[in-house]
Amino acid sequence: MRLNEKLLNALDTVFCDEPLPLSDTLKYTEFLRCEAFTFQWAIRLEPEETDKIWENGMELRAVVESPISDKIEVYIAENVPAMKVGYRSSDDWFLRKTPGLYPDRLTKVKNLNFTAPRGLARSIYFTINEELCDIPSGEYPIKLKLYKRYRGEVDAVETFTELVTREITVKVIDACLPKQKIIATNWIHYDCISHFSGYEPFSEEYFEVVKKYVRLAVKNGQNMIYVPAFTPPLDTPVGEERMTVQLVDITLENGEYTFDFSKLERFILICLDAGAEYLEHNHLFTQWGAKNAPKIIVRENGEKKKMFGWHTDASGEEYVHFLRSYITSLRKFLSENDYEKHFFFHVSDEPEQKSIESYSKASAIANELLEGLPCGDALSDYTFYEKEIVKIPIVTTDHIGNFLGKAEHLWAYFIGMQSYDNLPNRLIGMPEVRGRVLGAELYFYNIEGFLHWGFNAWHNKLSRKLVDPRISTDMNGDFVSGTSFIVYPSDDGAAEPSIRLISFRDAMQDARALLLLENLMGREEVISVLKKHISDIGFNSRVSSEALIALRAEINAMIEAEMA
């Protein structure tokens, strides 16, 4: 067999059943201090006529030699099955729309050993500075080696034969990215963590696993974490419920509520220690209209019971009394510990026109209790903002045009449905550039925050069944593949990144680089450079990988020149 290999940038997609590109595409090999950078080494064992018919593949070892080798993590891009890849309304900005295997899950290479199958392509991903350390500026050589690995069947003795060596030089520019201005959140689903880790919610072992999820999110562009003070009322059918994941312990005695915030404080410290800057309290009312209370467990007379839930009227006297007690105690706790400045609140997710009356009542209750604190919700209808029912609108990218220039604090979000008109998205069948261009688009419109409902939403529609995304990326056909998650469960109970998560991280880094250049040269100059490489910059920017890479290269060059 003949080994074919190419060095590629992180925006390239290597399908197992396609030939490798004719030449290397990795030409942009520079980044700023405190920034992460990922590239890939694609390999394919090309069968030849002299090969033995039973030879299935080759065991290989990847070796990295560099002065910064301790800052380089190595992953293998694993293929995942995708059956439902697009909607009937989806545009053609997809790599493929056919069912099949798609590269997405990144698995850390143990001992740098892996198997290359015969006649199929796969990629090794190298991430430099995954932990976002301040690497000193300068040029660093990186030598990559592939060895053929032999193992004795009886004595297990390993021997290695060198197959190929590649060398690249990475330049670290003497400038550090500024703090991320865009507030970015991808909702973590804590019942899914419990299911796939096997640990009881908020046990000692569970907290340790949650810590790993939060750290993975934060080092990949996320600076806000969803907080399950109560079990989040998300994607739950009326009358049904999800696993209880409630951080706040509540007791009812003689008609008065008392609150134990010790687990909540532990959770807050985990998030802040990981580098998160913002925390978003779970929604205070049920989804799609705020008609009911979320599931809340209360201890009364020594017994835990479901005090509130679908049986509770959202604006009823009982729940309003509880909310007044809870929010008053919570604000006191947050203020005393200097946590209040980190918190963001929600009323109800995705209200619609048909539920404007119930949502308005719930919003009035929440806004009275949360006066002075930021509160916003995901929506599409401008009426909710126009009538001042929603303070901070979080708007789907296909409806955000109605809000541009009108909302003082404007956020954006998308789900799988935004897969037409060249809207940004990160479905598995899409090119990585479609997810990464989000950073430039958010910067261009001065969008304050970005939200996505799925960091690890590993369940089918309405959360009726948990689904392993390693087996079904479309959640048994209920969503388009990749809609609901950007990480995978790992064998140690934590999570593994995806290629799409890397693209999201790079999008947020691009926005920070644009902000740095703005601080140095002014916004007008930055917009000029953006339009040079993305002529139709907006939320419908169909841009090539080459154009986005060229944009970032010019931004870096301008930063370096100004810093000098």
Using DSSP, state whether 510 is helix, strand or coil: helix
Beta-carbon count within 10 A of 98 CB? 10
The position carrying tokens 């931004």 is 555
Dmax over CA atoms of the chain, in Å, equals 85
Q: Are 487 and 466 in contact (CB under 8 A)?
A: no
Beta-carbon count within 10 A of 23 CB? 8
Q: In the structure encoding, which two tokens stand for residue 68, read together?
A: 């910064």
Phi and psi (nearest 5°) for 481? -55, 125
528 Cβ contact partners less than 8 Å away, ≥ 6 residues apart: none
| Residues present in the chain in total | 564
Q: Are 5 and 19 in contact (CB under 8 A)?
A: no
Supply the pLDDT for residue 151.
75
CA dist., res. 277 & res. 265, Å (int) = 15
Which residue type does 332 have?
Answer: K
Beta-carbon count within 10 A of 255 CB? 6
Beta strands in 423-558 (DSSP E): 449-452, 487-489, 495-497
Supply the pLDDT for residue 315.
96
Using a 10 angstrom Cβ sphere, with 0-12 exposed, 13-18 middle and 19 or more buried, the burial of residue 79 is middle
List per-residue pLDDT tens for the chain, 564 residues long.
Answer: 789 999 999 999 999 999 999 999 998 799 999 999 999 999 999 887 666 654 678 899 999 999 999 999 999 999 999 999 999 999 999 999 999 999 999 999 988 899 999 999 999 999 999 999 999 999 999 999 999 988 766 666 788 899 999 999 999 999 999 999 999 999 999 999 999 999 999 999 999 999 999 999 999 999 999 999 999 999 999 999 999 999 999 999 999 999 999 999 999 999 999 999 999 999 999 999 999 999 999 999 999 999 999 999 999 999 999 999 999 999 999 999 999 999 999 999 999 999 999 999 999 999 999 999 999 999 999 999 999 999 999 999 999 999 999 999 999 999 999 999 999 999 999 999 999 999 999 999 999 999 999 999 999 999 999 999 999 999 999 999 999 999 999 988 899 999 999 999 999 999 999 999 999 999 999 999 999 999 999 999 999 999 999 999 999 999 999 998
Domain ranges of the chain: 2-176, 178-374
CA distances 348 to 19, 83, 332, 375, 551, Å, are 48, 32, 23, 10, 39
Pairing of strands 495-497, 487-489: antiparallel
Task: Indicate yes or no: pTM above 0.95.
Answer: yes
Q: Smallest Cα–Cα separation from 187: which of 378, 317, 51?
A: 378
CA dist., res. 295 & res. 389, Å (int) = 24
CA dist., res. 203 & res. 537, Å (int) = 47
Supply the pLDDT for residue 54.
45
Q: Which CATH architecture has domain 2-176?
A: Sandwich (2.60)
The position carrying tokens 């030449």 is 23
Supply the pLDDT for residue 66.
97
Beta-carbon count within 10 A of 534 CB? 20
Supply the pLDDT for residue 492.
87
Q: In the structure encoding, which two tokens stand for residue 384, read together?
A: 């909710």
